[in-house]
Structure 1
Amino acid sequence: MKRIYEIVKEINDTTQSVNTLIYQKYNKLLDENIPSAQDLLLTTIHQHKELTIREIAEKLKITPSAASQQVSKLANLNYVNREINEKNRREILVTLSRKGVEYIDKQEKVERIITEKLYAKIGEEKLIAFRDILLDIKQVAEDEFK
């Protein structure tokens, strides 16, 4: 077990080092005023196109109050739009604004650059193996933490 811990520690340390190098290189292309919780919220809205506050809370595993506060902050910064749901007037629908879409577009541009500059040089076979290992770890985590 000690050997596995050492391997996992080395993986985590290496991952942190790579992420730090990427952040230092590409941070200028991104909007550094968005904290990670709000970035995750923007990404979640992007993935689903339109969500209610309740759905956001469920997907991010936070309280509806916390979701509402995060949405309000992003709305004040013009990253999201809030509209009353015409089908259920008690619900607020949240979508990305033009600025929110531009933020996601910047993220995706940086992901493409990183893919080209780093991951493409690793080779498809190794990337597939890496992806498969990560999917295995994700499955174990989901099973373990249900």
Structure 2
Amino acid sequence: MKQGDFIKEGFSLFDKINHHLVINYYSILDIELSPKQFMVLHLIHEIEPAKIQDISHQLQLSMSSVSQLVNKLEQGNYVSRSINPQNRREILVRIDGKGKDFFKKYEEMDDLVIEKYYSKLSLKETKQFRDFAQKLYNIITEESDHV
């Protein structure tokens, strides 16, 4: 088997894992968001407070596209906007009501999945998994910075 075949087999297995987890656990979250809305919400959660410009840059979406996505999230009470007191021309976006509830449930699901499945891996295997993911992330981000 070639290296590419092993990679494809690994991807296929992760697809099956994710499919199983989505059906059995994450479907409980009752997500009413589009994939792009979810990506924006998740990024805001990571870098809160987020600026529209930062979201646009990190997700490589146009400013108007991000603004429309944030509008939808704001209408759904997932996020709120406020003026940046240090720079009144900037708008800051924060997780709000339904967004806070969503991430609380999301964290509970993650904890449940970790406890039920990933905890069965040894500490050494868990560290290897994390180290592999970090190495692959570094390779991908370094390569994409040169494109």
- After TM superposition, the score normalised by the length of structure 2 is 0.91
Q: Deviations over 1:11-63 (max 9, x none)?
A: 00000000000011013321321122222211211222211211221222211
**Farther off after superposition, 68-77 or 47-56:** 47-56
- After TM superposition, the score normalised by the length of structure 1 is 0.91
**Farther off after superposition, 25-34 or 100-109:** 25-34
Q: Deviations over 1:58-106 (max 9, x none)?
A: 2222111111011001011111111233433332221111211111111
Cα distance between partner residues in 1 of 2:86 and 2:12:
49
**SS of structure 2 residue aligned to 1:90:** strand
In the alignment, does 2:50 pair up with 1:34? no
In the alignment, does 2:131 pair up with 1:132? yes
Counterpart residue type for residue 18 of structure 1: I
Check the 8 A contact 2:51/2:91 in 1, yes or no: yes
In the alignment, does 2:93 pair up with 1:101? no
In the alignment, does 2:91 pair up with 1:92? yes
Cα distance between partner residues in 1 of 2:63 and 2:124:
42
Cα distance between partner residues in 1 of 2:35 and 2:121:
28
Aligned-residue sequence identity (percent) comes to 30
Counterparts of residues 43-54 of structure 1 (less than 5 Å): 43-54=42-53
Counterpart residue type for residue 131 of structure 2: D
Check the 8 A contact 1:30/1:106 in 2, yes or no: yes
Aligned-residue offset at 1:133: 1.2
Any stretches of 5+ residues in structure 2 without a counterpart? none
- Cα RMSD, aligned residues only: 1.5
**Farther off after superposition, 58-67 or 113-122:** 58-67
Q: What is aligned with 1:18?
A: 17
Runs of 4 or more above 6 Å deviation: none
Check the 8 A contact 1:31/1:103 in 2, yes or no: no
Work out the number of aligned pairs and report it: 145
Q: Deviations over 1:91-145 (max 9, x none)?
A: 2221111211111111111100010011001121111111111111111112222
Q: What is aligned with 1:113?
A: 112
Check the 8 A contact 2:80/2:96 in 1, yes or no: yes
Cα distance between partner residues in 2 of 1:108 and 1:61:
26
Counterpart residue type for residue 133 of structure 1: F
